[in-house]
Amino acid sequence: MKPLLRAEALTKRFGGTLALDALDLEIAEGEFFALLGGSGSGKSTLLRIIAGFETPDSGRLLLDGHDIAATPPWARPVNMMFQSYALFPHMNVADNVAYGLRRAGVARADVTGRVASALAMVGLSGFERRKPHQLSGGQRQRVALARSLVMRPRLLLLDEPLGALDAGLRERTGFELRALQRETGAAFVMVTHDQEEALALADRVALLDGGRIAQVGAPRAIYERPASRFVARFLGAANVLEGRAMEGRFDSAEAGATFAGDIPAHTAAIALRPERIRVAVAAEGANTARGVVEDVAFRGDDSLVLVRLTGGATLRVAHAEEDGAPPMRGADVYLAWDAEAVVALPA
Amino acid sequence: MSHHRLVKAAMVAGFAFLWLPILLLVIYAFSADRIPFQWGGFSLRWFQALAANERLVESALLSLRVAAGAATLAVLLGGAAGWALARFGPFRGRALFGALIGAPLVLPEVVTGLSLLLLFVALDALTGWPAGRGATTVLLAHATLGAAFVAVVVQARLAESDRSLEEAAMDLGATPFTAFRTVTLPLIAPALAAGWLLAFTLSLDDVVIASFVSGPAGTTLPMALFSMLRLGLTPEVNALGAVVVIAVGGMLALAALLLRPRRG
């Protein structure tokens, strides 16, 4: 697909801290893109630079091939949904949604029609005369969404769109966001610190760390093939084990185990997901380990078992309910995993 | 039940403490007797005498003009300062600016008055403006005092509202000026109105600062009243008090109406 937005070596410094470190990024037309990262990763700075509220110190930001780094926010065909929603408290819902259209000089008759269809799209027809303080959190979020979407942006920025919602509402709203994105055909760029949210909603995810992109790709790809220890730990809290690669095998002293599988010569560490490890009756050879159960926590559909390996490292093991009762605390256990579960980390 | 009564009694006592002196003042304004606070039958003679007292009427009108001018200037300066303090981020010298804006709130009026007097004298000597001292210098001094109050009120109002509101407006195509006009200004309008009334009342009320910076042609109502007191009290003063109470009461009612929380 043709890139809609292209960031080239974007750099931004706040005082002594480097918020963005020569970041490169491409966002395609009509895709749902997630910027994932912890606090201080630079994801919010990147979003604010795309919206125009911050200017990069260096680098280029191209929208449809034109550099917009110096274009002020009010002249960009980009709209943003704020984390706080930022609804104008002195205006009713209809006036909030009509605000951008009025600034753009859209004819009065068209404004009414477009506001009505935007509100219908988010399921808020009949709420035109309400003030923001008369709405629930979920309804405010929809008004904010309608206010941005009514501008028919090529690119919609969403700052933690589900962050302020109750847990029960998040899942439903997430599906609705995706439906709206498909319906409007706009590219959505979402900032989130929640990896589940990013993996569930986005077509592609960029994981940011220290102002750089640690990895970018489809959710399944980066979940299954993390490029570094950081990515493996951030997504799904994988076990990361240090050691040495030799002749297609990986020896980890801290695990007291040898990993066999697809292991290139330059492998720096091994990632092993908790749900791919099983408790075995006996174990011998590669892809097995031995240890003592340190603790067990019941989580509903599985139990999290912490196992201290003979090499000293502690392994997180997800023990599924259908595999029977989890081992007791203090028990000696054997662990085993398949060769396909072994992920070699290049960095 | 007795607890309820106690609360009621306390409330009545509280209101009596606050309002009885004022009520007495208003009642005795209608007394015919020459001696203040001695009832001599109902009469409007002191109101007539007041209306005929050109000096007092003139100073009252001057006070109103000065108060209105000072309040307007205070809203412009204090509003801008409050906005800058709340929204412009950590600009260089922000702490100093905030402290200086708020200084008249904590400085004794005598100090404010004296320093302003020195400023006006020095300015006059250097630039020839303001020529002498009078209504203009009182207005400027009161605007300085009022601006401090307006800045505090506006800053508080903006601090409790989301700072991404203006960004949202700009994101939707508003230039900074339009965002200010359509979002910031309506947000702080109640604070500006309240600040104007505060500054107006402060100016109407002030004797100390006015005494420092005023001149021959700048006798405000409180100053005139104060000098009358020294010569001895007449019920005219009561009548004037009654007029002021009624005027201020009307204005407070108006302010309450303006600032009432609007719904739906």
The token pair that represents B132 in the structure block: 């002498």
Strand, helix or coil for residue B222? helix
Question: Which pLDDT score is estimated for A43?
Answer: 95
- Residue B232 has which token pair? 């001895």
pLDDT tens digits for range B135-194? 999 999 999 999 999 999 999 889 888 889 999 999 999 999 999 999 999 999 988 998
Number of A to B CB contacts under 8 A, please give it.
64
Percentage of chain B surpassing pLDDT 90?
46
Residues in A closer than 8 angstroms to B165, CB to CB, are 86, 88-89
Please indicate whether, in this complex, the C-beta atoms of A82 and B164 are within 8 angstroms of each other: yes
Residue with tokens 């009065």: A108
CB contact under 8 A, B186 and A53: no
| Distance between CA atoms of residues A252 and A244, nearest Å | 7
Least confident of A70-74, A133-137, B34-38, B46-50: B34-38
Interface probe for B, chosen from A47, A68, A74, A80 (most Cβ of B below 10 Å), is: A74
Q: What is the pLDDT of residue A265?
A: 85
Distance, in Å, from the CA atom of A272 to the CA atom of A316, rounded to the nearest integer, reads 9
Q: State which residue of chain A sits closest to B190, comparing Cα positions.
A: A90
Question: Can you name the residues that pair with A335 across neighbouring β-strands?
Answer: A279, A289
- Please give the Cα distance from A338 to A277 (Å, whole number): 8
pLDDT higher than threshold 50 for residue B264: no
Cβ A231 vs Cβ A207: under 8 Å: yes
- A8 by Cβ neighbours in 10 Å (0-12 / 13-18 / 19+) ranks as middle
Which of A68, A78, A80 to probe by mutation at the B interface, max B CB count within 10 Å? A80
Considering only CB atoms, which chain B residues are within 8 Å of A51?
Answer: 167, 171
The residue in chain B having the minimum alpha-carbon distance to the alpha carbon of residue A149 is: B172
Of A52, A53, A103, the CB nearest to B172: A103
Long-range contacts of residues B232-237, Cβ cutoff 8 Å, at least 24 apart? B233/B36, B234/B34, B234/B36, B234/B46, B234/B49, B235/B28, B235/B29, B235/B31, B235/B33, B235/B34, B235/B35, B235/B36, B235/B46, B236/B46, B236/B49, B236/B50, B236/B53, B236/B56, B237/B36
**Test mutation, B160, B171, B192, chain A, max A CBs within 10 A:** B171
Residue identified by tokens 């480097």 is: A18
| Type of residue found at A32 | F
User: Do the chains contact at B167 and A53, CB–CB below 8 Å?
Assistant: yes
Side-chain-side CA neighbours of A148 within 13 Å: the count stands at 35
What's the rounded Cα separation, in Å, for the pair A169 and A153? Answer: 25
B212: closest CA of chain A, how far (Å):
43
Q: Do A193 and A39 contact (CB within 8 A), yes or no?
A: yes
- Alpha carbon distances (Å) from A235 to A231, A272, B177, B222: 6, 12, 44, 73
Residues from chain A that touch B263, judged by Cβ atoms under 8 A, are 131
- Where do you find CATH 3.40.50.300 in chain A? 3-224
| Rounded distance between C-alpha atoms, residue B193 and residue B71, angstroms | 10
Interface of A with B in 112-171 (CB under 8 A): 129-131, 134, 147-148, 151
Question: For residue A194, what are its two tokens?
Answer: 């929640």
pLDDT confidence band for B263 (50 / 70 / 90) = very low
Please report which confidence band the pLDDT of residue B258 belongs to, taking 50, 70 and 90 as the band edges: low
CATH class of B53-259: mainly alpha
B175·A88 Cβ contact <8 A? no
Query: CA A234 to CA A196: how far, in whole Å?
Result: 11
Query: Taking the mean position of all CA atoms in its chain, how far away is CA A283?
Result: 37
Which residue stretches of chain A are H helix? Answer: 43-51, 93-103, 108-121, 137-149, 167-184, 195-201, 219-224, 229-234
Q: What is the biggest distance separating any 2 CA atoms in chain A, rounded to whole angstroms?
A: 77
Q: Which of B170, B172, B183 to mutate to test the interface with A (most CBs of A within 10 A)?
A: B172
Residue A341, amino acid: A
Name every residue whose Cβ is closer than 8 Å to that of residue B35 and which is 6 or more positions away in sequence. B235
pLDDT in the model for residue B259? 64
- Percentage of chain B lying above the pLDDT 70 cut: 97
**Spatial CB neighbours of A331, under 8 Å, sequence gap ≥ 6:** A292, A293
pLDDT value of residue B261: 63
Distance (Å, whole) CA B144 – CA B163: 28
Cβ contact A301:A341 at 8 Å: no
CA angle A36, A42, A43 (to 5 degrees): 35
Average pLDDT, chain B: 88
With 0-12 CB in 10 A as exposed, 13-18 as middle and 19+ as buried, what is B217?
Answer: exposed
Q: What's residue B194's pLDDT?
A: 87
Q: Are A200 and A174 in contact, with CB atoms under 8 Å apart?
A: yes
Q: Residue A134: helix, strand or coil by DSSP?
A: helix
Residues of A in contact with B90 (CB under 8 A): none
Nearby residues of B54 by Cβ (< 8 Å), 6 or more positions away: none
| CATH code at A238-345 | 2.40.50.140
Omega before B130 within 30 of 0, i.e. cis: yes
CA of A106: which chain B residue's CA is closest? B173
> pLDDT averaged over consecutive 10-residue blocks of chain A (347 residues)?
89 92 94 94 95 95 93 95 95 97 95 96 95 94 96 95 86 92 95 93 96 95 91 87 88 88 88 90 84 92 92 91 87 91 88
In the CATH scheme, what is the code of domain A3-224? 3.40.50.300
The pLDDT score that the predictor gives to residue B260 is 67
Say which of A52, A74, A83 has its CB closest to residue B174: A74
Residue pair A32/A188 in contact by the 8 Å Cβ criterion: yes
Tokens of B29: 């304004």
For residues A60 and B127, what is the distance between their CA atoms, to the nearest angstrom?
53
**What are the start and end residues of each CATH 2.40.50.140 domain in chain A?**
238-345
Q: By a Cβ cutoff of 8 Å, what residues of chain B touch chain A?
A: 161-162, 164-165, 167-175, 178, 182-183, 186-187, 263-264
The partner residues of A67 in beta bridges, in order of sequence, read A62
Answer positive or negative: Cα dihedral of B249, B254, B258, B263.
Answer: positive
CB atoms under 10 Å from CB of B161, counted, come to 17
Chain B hits for A130, CB-CB cut-off 8 Å, are: 264
State the smallest CA–CA distance between residue A104 and chain B in angstroms: 7
